Amino acid sequence: MKAHDGMYTDGAWRAPAGREVIEVVNPADEQVIGAVPAGTAEDVDAAVRGARAAFPGWAATPPAARAERVAALRDALAARRDEIAETVTAELGAPLRLSQPVHADLPITVAGTYAKLAAEYPFEERVGNSTVYQEPVGVVAAITPWNYPLHQIVAKVAPALAAGCTVVLKPAEDTPLVAQLFAEAVDAAGLPAGVFNLVTGRGPVAGQALAEHEGVDLVSFTGSTAVGRRIGALAGGAVKRVALELGGKSANVILPGADLARAVNVGVANVFANSGQTCSAWTRMLVHAADYDEAVGLAATAAKKYPPGDPRDPATRLGPLVSAVQRDRVRGYIERGVAEGARLVAGGPEAPEGLTRGYWVAPTVFADVTPGMTIAQEEIFGPVLAVLRYEDEEEALRIANGTVYGLGGAVWAADEAAAVAFARRMDTGQVDINGGRFNPLAPFGGYKQSGVGRELGTHGLAEYLQPKSLQF
């Protein structure tokens, strides 16, 4: 797609207040593929004022009519499915074989779930002598990350629209092109002017201006825990609602007797998907001492199945990282792992052979990792797996729960009931049992420093609603 040189506000593409632009770079070859406006506080203010003006009319629109518009948005996205996948591959570097089912199809599915929920959700119920109404919160600031650029937009915007809120979106500066494509789909879906607004820009400028704008009622942010803390403080100071989906350091716990080969191979695939740039990735693999050496060998062998390559090639399973900053950060963590005594069994900090241009990191597996090591505690956000040993289930649980995060996780066991019992004791928002599939209707979000609030399904819709009770 061709980049727009304006902001989408109040139902049209409009010239930005300033002249600065952000260049969009293909991380596979470092070529500039487009440029978008670097929005200012003035651009944010115009977008918020448009959303504020549109809110009363959209909030008063019957849920069935809102459902029709969200369904039209889903259809507009579905019509451009291939273009979405190609755009994400170009600006994020995700292999096309991942961009099609995950970066394109999943957001289309999620938009469809909210079209259905908008029509069916009980926005009004009788409780004793009261009628309780679920009313939209107001103007939503949606600040989204680069790692799942369209999915994270849809996971915020679709429920907000279904609830009757209006939205100002500030997407990540690394992946703004698919956000512009989303705005084109909103336009094609016929949403009223001002209901959805897009401001591209940098986090410290446009993002901060949006988070602290007095015309915003709720800030929904996905990104790092460090930035989430700042946004939470800003929102809290203004007594605004806030939803934060932050970092993770999820544990993949393989209990004795589980199908070890399947657990290890699925675990490696989970970590290397999207080049490891997934907040809920199972980046710590916990294996019983009796199975440890075999598991390490299986993981090292599995890593060889992910040679980095051209993301446009249908055979490629591992693309580059999104930026030079991210590549250098991940390589730094790999060097730190070596320095702290972990044993490399695959990959390493050096650039993959033959890839001199682009932001590449070799698929890396560490063995002999102990719970206190940096690579076992901090979110790396790259294709790096740490394999840890445990002696019994109580130790496995202590290790699994022994970080500041609690977003995702997995448990494998020969007996499903044993896996469930272990999962119930994990301090985390989601756990996959024996390879359970992702469910777009299940609440997604974390415990501890992994965030506040939930996305997807009815729980995601409820984030954008506030109750009002009338007594009779």
| CATH number of the domain that residue 48 is part of | 3.40.605.10
Q: Which residues form the domain of 62?
A: 7-246+449-471
Can you give the pLDDT at residue 235? 85
| CATH code of the domain containing 418 | 3.40.309.10
Can you give the pLDDT at residue 113? 98
Beta strands in 303-363 (DSSP E): 343-346
Query: Could you tell me if residue 294 is inside a domain?
Result: yes
With H, G, I as helix, E, B as strand and everything else as coil, classify residue 141.
strand
Residues classed as catalytic: 245, 279
Residue 226 buriedness (CB in 10 A; 0-12 / 13-18 / 19+): exposed
Q: Residues of the chain whose pLDDT is less than 50?
A: none
Q: Is the domain of 290 the same as that of 259?
A: yes
Query: Could you tell me if residue 2 is inside a domain?
Result: no
Can you give the pLDDT at residue 137? 98
Can you give the pLDDT at residue 158? 98
Query: Could you tell me if residue 277 is inside a domain?
Result: yes
Q: Is the domain of 242 the same as that of 271?
A: no
Helix or strand run (H / E) with residue 458: helix 457-462
Write phi, then psi, for 342 (nearest 5 degrees).
-70, 155
Query: Could you tell me if residue 366 is inside a domain?
Result: yes
Q: Is the domain of 455 the same as that of 392?
A: no
Total domain count for the chain? Answer: 2
Q: Is the domain of 109 the same as that of 33?
A: yes
Query: Could you tell me if residue 196 is inside a domain?
Result: yes
What's the chain's Rg over C-alpha atoms? Answer: 22
Can you give the pLDDT at residue 236? 85
Q: Is the domain of 365 the same as that of 257?
A: yes
Q: Is the domain of 137 the same as that of 277?
A: no
DSSP string, 79-138: TTHHHHHHHHHHHH---HHHIIIIIIIHHHHHHHHHHHHHHHS-SEEEETTEEEEEEE--
Cα 235 to Cα 213: distance, rounded to the nearest angstrom: 9
Query: Could you tell me if residue 232 is inside a domain?
Result: yes
Q: Is the domain of 142 the same as that of 102?
A: yes
Can you give the pLDDT at residue 292? 98
Q: Strand 218-222 vs strand 241-245: parallel, antiparallel, or unpaired?
A: parallel
Q: In what order do the strands lie in the sheet with 130-136?
A: 124-127, 130-136, 465-471
Query: Could you tell me if residue 444 is inside a domain?
Result: no
- Residues 6 or more apart whose CB falls under 8 angstroms from that of 312 comprise 28, 89, 96
Q: Is the domain of 117 the same as that of 92?
A: yes
Q: Is the domain of 428 the same as that of 311?
A: yes
Q: Is the domain of 23 the same as that of 109?
A: yes
With H, G, I as helix, E, B as strand and everything else as coil, classify residue 67.
helix
Can you give the pLDDT at residue 1? 75
Q: What is the pLDDT of residues 151-209, one digit of tens each?
A: 999 999 999 999 999 999 999 999 999 999 999 999 999 999 999 999 999 999 999 99
Cα dihedral: 68, 71, 72, 74 (round 10): 170
With H, G, I as helix, E, B as strand and everything else as coil, classify residue 362.
coil
Cα 257 to Cα 263: distance, rounded to the nearest angstrom: 11
Q: Would you say the C-alpha torsion 202, 208, 214, 216 has a positive or negative sign?
A: positive
> Can you read off the two tokens belonging to residue 36?
């978008």
Q: Is the domain of 15 the same as that of 65?
A: yes
Q: Is the domain of 89 the same as that of 11?
A: yes
Query: Could you tell me if residue 97 is inside a domain?
Result: yes
